[in-house]
Structure 1
Amino acid sequence: MSKLGTLGARLHRGEIGYDFVAKRRIWYGVSILVTITAIVGLVVRGLNMGIEFEGGAVFTTSKTSVSAADAEGYAEDASGKDAIVQKLGNGTLRIQVSGIDTGESDRIKDDLAKDLKADPDSINADLVGPSWGETIANKAWTGLAIFMVLVVIYLAIAFEWRMALAALVALIHDITITVGIYALVGFEVTPGTVIGLLTILGYSLYDTVVVFDSLKESSKNITKQTRFTYAEIANRSINGTLVRSINTTVVALLPVAGLLFIGGGVLGAGTLNDISLSLFVGLAAGAYSSIFIATPLVADLKEREPQMKALKRRVLAKRAQAAAKNEVGQPVPASEGEPDGQESDEDGPEDAAPAVVGPRGRTGSRAAGPRNQPTSRGRGRGRPSGKRR
């Protein structure tokens, strides 16, 4: 078994682990700071909306030796506006200028033909109206709202409303960070970006639902035991699924990183940036939120219940009692208990002596030491050797 597999098995059994829930205030602070930065970037810089949303023209030239940088300068001089130029694989140029009408398009086309030393008829101009992009945006917002409502309803039925609320907060967290990154980086927002944003919602929920399912199973009959609080069981659920979450996230990020950094960065296929950036940031943010935001938030909400508060008091009282009896033996660590973290009160009263480790590592409900055996009345009677036949 590989080291990673061994680590995952030990995390699942509770032999080792990191206390994510106890440090939840740190994760909340980090998320709030990143979210505020994303919102500030969105407000200050805004989104670089593509031509599909703002309207404009796309000029496609014939094969030319002019570089994309030079063509961008020609297009901006001719239009007086920012232009986006991409060098296509067949040597042609795709020049995109937003916010122009038909009359401006014809003039810009003639100016580009002169600067590029090409025949005006060899340059194709396609006009895009802003109403089409507005329709796409409205449908995207409608789809997002319907998706959120359905997710909350499903999680509330399959799990409980606290988990549904925590998952919704995690989704909003992921979308806000992804949109803010687009504003800070300045990548163009296209219909591909919208598709990427809608796609990451499912990936963002995947790890969250896996942890919630483990937490639901581990917290059955939680009030019938006095070994763990709800927050501790939630933390064990995170650790038990941690390696699985890391593996699935890394496997999903590798191809997306190839599109973003190799396809868009090294090979210059800028058309891949719009969808690959949203997928890359969304996948990473979704893995983070499922571990550091959603589950700790569920633990916070759950421990506000009177039953969970009473359970926490009983657990702490039992531990204090065990610490007081530490003179007669060493208490068994929580990780050496039952795998599912459940210890039924039916096994004995809550004030029973804690399990201790004897000289040979055996555990029991009493301190290890010499036992006084009652002497048998008939032992050795009538036999010199003292042995029975």
Structure 2
Amino acid sequence: MLNFSQVGNDLYTGKRSIDFIGRQKTWYAISGVLVILALIGIFARGLNFGIEFSGGSEFRVQGVSNSQDYEQKAQSAVGEAGIGGNVVATVVGQDTVRVQTEAASERTGEARAALARTFGVQEGAVSASLIGPSWGETVSQQAIRGLIVFLVLVTLVMGLYFRTWKMAVAGLVALLHDLVITVGIYALFGFEITPSSMIGFLTILGYSLYDTVVVFDKVRENTAEAFASKRMTYRQAANLAVNQTLVRSINTTVVALLPIAAVLFVGFTMLGPGTLLDLSLALFIGIAVGAYSSIFIATPLLVDLRRKDKAVVDLDRYVARHGSKGTGRDALMGTRPEGAPEPAVVGADSTGAADEQPVDAAYRPVHRYAQAGPRNQPKRAPKSKR
């Protein structure tokens, strides 16, 4: 039987390793196909915006004992009231039918009476509401504005925190990747986009960013050690970081998806369309896609962006000349004599982009200005004059 805790420990120490960075073309190809399908769905099929964005009338028929053929009944009743256009009917909860039509403020009374007769309920059991398109336009503008502000702040914060614009770019690409695929899935399957869905889209960006930052923080730590010890290339150190955070990312994603899946099940089987279902659907899709991008897209893209950096090239050449000491955590840290201090990164910034430094026999970094020889020897006492 597979011991997941042992697997996680082996991945962290490097005893087992998955070559995420070496297979980046495979991950790029998978994401490319998903993004293309998403764009086809968005631009060819289009998005199914709810009545909150397009405007119209909504009727809710409560106390329906038999909801069979509710779509045909709704279309017949609305047509009888003289309301044309597209009619969308869905079952909400156990005994309520929701009917959405084009704006019909002048024929609301006729539509309520016709729906009551068709479904066999009292006219008082049929509620009506009118939503103007200006409200949906305002919501759309605010959502787009919020998205732009979010992306700008994310770029600035990541650039300042990691002190390199390439990490910010890689994280931003992962965010856009998650957003496009999530919206594309809505388009391909015809899911209705409501204000709750828009809130869900913005929420998943925050989750995806959180997961990506955790992985990048480990990448920064490992690559700083690699620049200091010269025992592993930048690519190997970054791949070790993804392996070390893999189990954590999977566990976090599963723990987040389980309650959302429960809400989705209840929403689809019992509650029907509504705010809870719209929000949970967006979260479920987005969190799953975000976990994929933080593991398979963000870090491989970062390695590709830094491939030609002078510090990375010099490190790769040094390791190529002297040989890699392995791909595990112990190889990255280096062996130290008993009682020797932990290795420290000397002369490196927070991105790990240190100048090439000499390494002593114990694989501890030596400051580039340190010198050996007579200057470091104790001075001899002057000879006494006779």
Pairs within 5 Å for 1:179-258: 179-220=183-224, 222-258=226-262
The partner residue of 2:152 within 149, 152, 165 is 149
How far apart are residue 121 of structure 1 and its match?
A: 4.1
1:276 corresponds to: 280
Alpha-carbon separation, structure 1, partners of 2:110 and 2:329: 79
Partner of 2:347: none
TM-score by length of 1: 0.80
In structure 1, the residue matched to 2:371 is none
C-alpha separation between the residues in 2 aligned to 1:47 and 1:123? 29
Structure 1: how far apart are the matches of 2:242 and 2:271?
40
Q: Secondary structure at the match of 2:69?
A: helix
- Please tell me the residue identity of whatever aligns with 1:238: V
> CA shift at 1:86, angstroms?
1.9
Could you give the per-residue CA deviations for residues 173-199 of structure 1, whole angstroms, max 9, x where no partner exists?
000000000011111111110111111
Q: Once the two structures are superposed, what CA deviation does each residue of 1:269-304 show, in whole Å capped at 9, x if it has no partner?
A: 232432222111100110000011001111111122
**Counterpart residue number, 1:178:** 182
Instruction: Assess if the C-alpha contact under 8 Å between 1:58 and 1:127 holds in 2.
Output: yes
After superposition, the CA RMSD in angstroms is: 2.3
Give matches, 1:1-389, under 5 Å.
3-67=3-67, 69-77=68-76, 78=78, 79-80=83-84, 81-89=86-94, 91-97=95-101, 99-159=102-162, 160-220=164-224, 222-260=226-264, 262-267=265-270, 269-271=272-274, 272-319=276-323, 333-335=326-328, 337-338=330-331, 340=333, 345-348=358-361
For 1:124 and 1:270, the matched residues in 2 are separated by 17
Point out the more displaced range, 166-175 or 11-20.
Answer: 11-20
* 1:4 Cα offset (Å): 1.9
Give the distance between the partners of 2:143 and 2:240, measured in 1 at CA.
38
Unaligned runs of 5+ in 2: 336-342, 344-356, 364-386
CA contact (8 A) 1:61 1:92 kept: yes
Paired position in structure 2 for 1:370: none
> For the Cα contact (< 8 Å) 1:13–1:339, is it kept in 2?
no
Name the counterpart of 1:325. none
Matched residue of 1:274: which SS? helix
How far apart are 1:341 and its partner, in Å? 6.4
Q: Quick one: distance in 1 between partners of 2:118 and 2:173?
A: 52
CA–CA distance in 2 between the matches of 1:296 and 1:138? 34
Distance 1:281 1:8 in 2: 26
The question of whether the paired residues in 2 share the 8 Å contact of 1:75 and 1:108 is answered with: no
Moved more, 333-342 or 3-12: 333-342
Q: What amino acid is the match of 1:347?
A: D
Equivalent residues of 2:24, 2:300 under 8 A apart: yes
Q: Which has the larger radius of gyration?
A: 1
AA of the residue aligned to 1:166: A
Q: Which amino acid aligns with 1:76?
A: Q
Alpha-carbon distance in structure 2 between the residues aligned to 1:136 and 1:341:
56
Letter matched to residue 266 of structure 2: G
Report the CA distance between 1:116 and its aligned residue. Answer: 2.1
Q: Output the CA distance in 2 between the equivalents of 1:188 and 1:104.
A: 26
TM-score with structure 2 length normalisation? Answer: 0.80
Q: Residues 118 and 267 (structure 1 numbering): CA distance in 2 closer, same or farther, change over 3 Å? A: closer
Structure 2 residue matching 1:227: 3-state secondary structure:
coil
Secondary structure (helix, strand or coil) at the match of 1:102 reads coil
Query: Post-superposition shift, 1:139?
Result: 0.7
Distance 1:32 1:194 in 2: 24
Contact 2:58 2:99 in 1 (8 A): yes
Q: In the aligned structure 2, how far is the partner of 1:266 from the partner of 1:224?
A: 57
Change (3 A) 1:224 1:119: closer
Q: Is the 8 A contact 2:59 2:126 kept in 1?
A: yes
CA distance in 1, matches of 2:176, 2:334: 32
Residue 205 of structure 1 deviates from its aligned partner by: 1.1
Residue 118 to residue 165, structure 1, CA distance change in 2 (3 Å): same
1:294 aligned partner, one-letter code:
A
| Residues 104 and 172 of structure 1: CA distance in aligned 2, closer, same or farther (over 3 Å) | farther
Aligned to 1:374: none
Question: Greater CA deviation, 99-108 or 159-168?
Answer: 99-108
